[in-house]
Amino acid sequence: MPLDSQMQDILDMLDGLNIPPNETLTPEEAREWRKTRPIPQGPEVGKVSNVTVESEGVAIPVRIYQPTQDGTYPILVWFHGGGWVLGNIETADPVARRLCIQGKCVVMSVDYRLAPETKFPGAVEDCYAVTEWAAKQGHIYGGDPDRIAVGGDSAGGNLATVVSIMAARAEEGPKISFQMLIYPVTDYDFDTSSYNDNAKGYSLTKAGMIWFWDHYLTGPEDSKDPRAVPIHDPDLSGLPPAIVITAEFDPLRDEGEAYGQKLLENDTPVIISRYDGVIHGFFSMAPALDKASIAIKEACDAMNQWM
């Protein structure tokens, strides 16, 4: 299919910003350039709180979004995208607000440590620590510790898959009821059809993904660690239900769908939903992109179905 017309307009706008490709920049430079990208305004929610979760000497900022009405709600622990190098709770703010409203849930958005300052598995450890904290302290914010979902986009989707696996294997790990996986990074393979078809021209590039991985991992040996590359975990059984949303013009499309298929093969209920005509990152482009709003609703409906 051709690009969705709204998607083409957004891509033209992004191209007009003349932001250099990440792979030509240092992480610090890429973060500065990212600030020039407009962040759409998110809707109002009932309450927003900024807290800090302490774990083994690390202070992890978390932003909590609560629905307008008092009550007890499911908890969605959200991990932002950005290739483990870029992004924060500010860039994740609009989508976190929409997930709070559409999902009728308490959203806990995690500002995990970034690479290369903190290499793998630092981000994994932070995300798991906050998920444990949510299970113990979520009730303070109107959350139900028996209804916890994890989710994220891109690198955040990678972290959500890994946290789900870790929780399922831990003797006293947090009970996770659902995974919201938005074009997740699941493999370390740059030769899939979607990588070859979408290597350039659609915002996220093949060279850009290699750049992200190089900053995240300490060396090639980490690419064999399932906490970095979850599709190669030898045991993907017993995991919570999931939705995997992918984009047609995205290098990560095939590995996200392959991970969903692998979950299905291990008897995990999964919805695999590809959005045609859109690129990597589209999920956070509401309200300028209708398909982003549709995808957010689909993801939230799936979460509420299993929560």
| Residues designated catalytic | 154, 250, 280
Please name which of 179, 200, 124, 220 lies closest in space to residue 305, comparing C-alpha atoms: 179
Asked if 178 and 165 touch (Cβ cutoff 8 Å), the reply is no
Task: Please report the beta strands in the chain, taking only residues with DSSP state E, as ranges in sequence order.
Answer: 47-55, 58-66, 73-79, 106-110, 143-153, 176-182, 242-249, 270-279
Asked if 108 and 78 touch (Cβ cutoff 8 Å), the reply is yes
Asked if 281 and 154 touch (Cβ cutoff 8 Å), the reply is yes
CA distances from 15 to 20, 166, 207, 279 (A): 10, 39, 17, 13
Cβ count near 72 (within 10 Å) = 14
Tokens 């969605």 belong to residue? 76
Half-sphere CA count of 59, side-chain side, radius 13 A: 3
Residue 149 to residue 181: CA distance in whole angstroms: 11
- Give me 221's structure tokens: 């040996």
Instruction: List Cβ neighbours of 248 (8 Å cut-off, separation of 6 or more).
Output: 1, 274, 275, 276, 277, 278
Residue 159 to residue 209: CA distance in whole angstroms: 16
